[in-house]
Amino acid sequence: MTFAFEKKQHLAKRETIAALASHGKVLFKYPIKAYWMPTEDVGYARYVVTVPKKEFKRAVRRNLLKRRMREALRLNQAECLQGACGDFLLIYIAREICDYATIEAAVRDILKKSAAK
């Protein structure tokens, strides 16, 4: 089992992200709101992680939260998804900086909910 968060798992196309935000299923676990859309043609899960600039003006804080969410994804994707594939848009919605354990629990719960559907 590899814990890599490979380049092919980064979702970058603006059209795909817009479609995901408008047509995806909403999964919520504080402090993260996620949009999820199953994809059968890709064969692996792809992710976008975002933190709103409106809530966290300093880039240092936004980057800290994005690193924490990506690390939680990297460590839990194989265990929680169990071969399921889809596109994910994860948005940090809390107004304060949460610790890593809280973020990891939220990411794990979101991934398990998406694998169950």
Residue at 78 is within a domain: yes
- Which tens digit of pLDDT belongs to each residue from 4-63? 778 888 899 999 999 999 999 999 999 999 999 998 787 888 999 999 999 999 999 999
pTM, 2 dp: 0.91
Residue at 70 is within a domain: yes
CATH of the domain at 111: 3.30.230.10
Residue at 65 is within a domain: yes
Cα separation, 83 vs 79, in Å, equals 9
The pLDDT of residue 117: 74
Strands 25-29 and 86-92: unpaired
Residue at 31 is within a domain: yes
Q: Which two tokens stand for residue 43?
A: 């064969």
Residue in the structure block whose two tokens are 């889809």 = 86
When divided into structural domains, the chain yields a total of 1
Range of the domain at 101: 25-116
Residue at 88 is within a domain: yes
